[in-house]
Amino acid sequence: MDMTKQQRTPFVEALEAYCAQHMKAYHTPGHKLGQGISDYQRRLFGDALRRDLGVMYALDDLFQPEGPLKEAMDLAADLYGAGRTFFSINGTTACIEAMILAVCADGDEIVIPREAHKSVINGLVLSGAVPVYMESRFDAARQVSLGPDLESLKAAVAAHPAAKAVLFTYPTYDGIAGNLQALTAYAHEKGLYILVDEAHGAHFGFHPDLPAEALACGVDCVAQSTHKLAGSLTQTSMLHCRRDFPLTERVAASMNIVQSTSPHYWFLASLDSARQQLALEGREIIGRALNLARQVRKELNQILGITVFGRDIIDGHTVCGFDETKITIDFSGLGLDGVTAERELRREGIEVELVAGNHVLALITLGDTAATAEALVTACAHIAAHHEGAPLQQAGEELPLPQPHVVMAPRRAWNLPREAVPLEAALGRTAAENVTFYPPGIPVLSLGEEITADCLDYIRSKMAAGYKPNGPADGTLATLRVLKEVSHER
Ligand SMILES: Cc1ncc(COP(=O)(O)O)c(C=O)c1O
């Protein structure tokens, strides 16, 4: 990597140089650098309006980059060790859709984990690919999924030897990193393309104590939410292709399909400058977050009734790495479930990332300080003190996600006529919509799947525990959309 070049921010420099010219605007956006906008909006968006420009020749083209954007994306590729990197202004959602679209044609089978994010299902609808689910291991004591292991992959491939690709979620939302090296070696041996949803791993390469980066494990394509844990604006992500990946041009064409033709230059500038920050200070800022997280974990584990797992989750087989900046706080020793703990934390002024079963997930990132780290510990200590001595209730239990029964390709289900039926009457029918509890955005039920008793039980138990479904047209789930005709032909 060329560290001198990494100091530059070619796209930000081009944007600033363009703005300094004070060109008279006879182009979109209609507010014309903020001149036509209400005072209210001007107060809200301030100086950002001067850099809100339509597509400018001087500022390159996201879909045919030749100038400063190409330079910016090449610098990102150099930093991450990719053959080519694409900037996404539609998050990792677009990157995942694009990589599936690039490698799978209509009817191709793709092996995916049970914890695939809903954007994977979108990718299946767009491409026409048929999902083959790998089973995941579930840690019942910690109430978290560990993802698939090598045996799960081998079983899926043995049952579907014609599968074209495999997609891994690496790491899981909780920071659990599977044995990607072994999974990759086996998948390549079987001739599969390997795609990775590394939404929660854009910071991995910047500290040796974090799990190995997916690209370093030899995979083909990696989607990363730069915005989640690496300092860019929300909605900005990167898609990396390994060197010599034969479908790179098709990935480029797919990114063209799933993104807006009017990318906001702030988003692109944000990716360019976040890359520079990681290159110059990555080790230091990620190391600081890790140290803070270790301190928080240690202090939380000293509070009676609260437990937080750490690297002890690594078993060297299913789990080969763990991101310690992800803090899964188990409140069951206080008799609290995740939903109640989240509510009590909110009263203490703390907003967490995710809630499930007996725990909440808190993130310590490059944005934290000793003070914010301490505030989390203090809030948990207050909650523990408040519940000390109270009779223990049975805390919430997170059930493993039911194994899907794929009836047809999601795209086929998307195109067939549908009807709404009462939830109870949906048993045995084929789903015409996804049911997700967000976050983590993992569908319990996806388009084209049989609605089993296990699915309905899972949905009922989540709703009874106070979770709101996301995805169905009827948000109360009194009714569910199912296909009018069920055909078992793919
Ligand atoms: C595992 C996983 N993959 C993909 C996504 C989608 O990422 P984005 O929000 O950047 O579109 C998310 C978002 O929460 C996620 O958790």
> How close is the Cα of 93 to the center of ligand 1, in Å?
6
pLDDT score at 389:
75
At residue 486, the pLDDT reads 54
How is domain 283-387 classified at the CATH fold level?
Answer: Aspartate Aminotransferase, domain 1 (3.90.1150)
Separation of alpha carbons 33 and 412, rounded Å: 45
Nearest CA to ligand 1 atom 12: 199
Query: Angle between the 10-20 and 265-301 helix axes, to the nearest 10 degrees?
Result: 130
Ligand 1 centroid distance, CA of 202 (Å): 12
Q: Where are the CATH 3.90.100.10 domain residues in the chain?
A: 410-483
Tell how far the Cα of 116 is from the centroid of ligand 1, in angstroms: 10
Does the domain formed by 410-483 have CATH 3.90.100.10? yes
CB-ligand 1 contact for 123 (6 Å cutoff): no
Please tell me the predicted confidence (pLDDT) of residue 58: 85
Assess whether the C-beta atom of 172 lies below 6 angstroms from ligand 1: no
For residue 123, report the distance from its CA to the centre of ligand 1, in Å. 13
Ligand 1 pocket test target in 86, 87, 90, 93 with most atoms within 8 Å of CB: 93
Q: What is the pLDDT of residue 360?
A: 97
* pLDDT value of position 440: 84
- The HSE-up count of residue 166 (CA atoms within 13 Å, CB side) is 31
Q: Is 326 in the pocket of ligand 1 (CB under 6 A)?
A: no
Which positions of the chain have pLDDT values less than 70? Answer: 391-393, 486-490
How is residue 196 written in tokens? Answer: 């990775």
pLDDT value at residue 488: 54
HEC string for 226-281: HHHHCCCCCCCEEEEECCCCCCHHHHHHHHHHHCCCCCCHHHHHHHHHHHHHHHHH
Q: Which of 119, 224, 361 to mutate to test the pocket of ligand 1 (most atoms within 8 A of CB)?
A: 119
pLDDT confidence of residue 398? 85
82 lines ligand 1 (CB under 6 A): no
Q: Which atom of ligand 1 is nearest to the CA of 169?
A: 1
Assess whether the C-beta atom of 225 lies below 6 angstroms from ligand 1: yes
User: Where along the chain do the CATH 3.90.1150.10 domains lie?
Assistant: 283-387
Of 385, 88, 129, 127, the C-alpha closest to 260 is 88
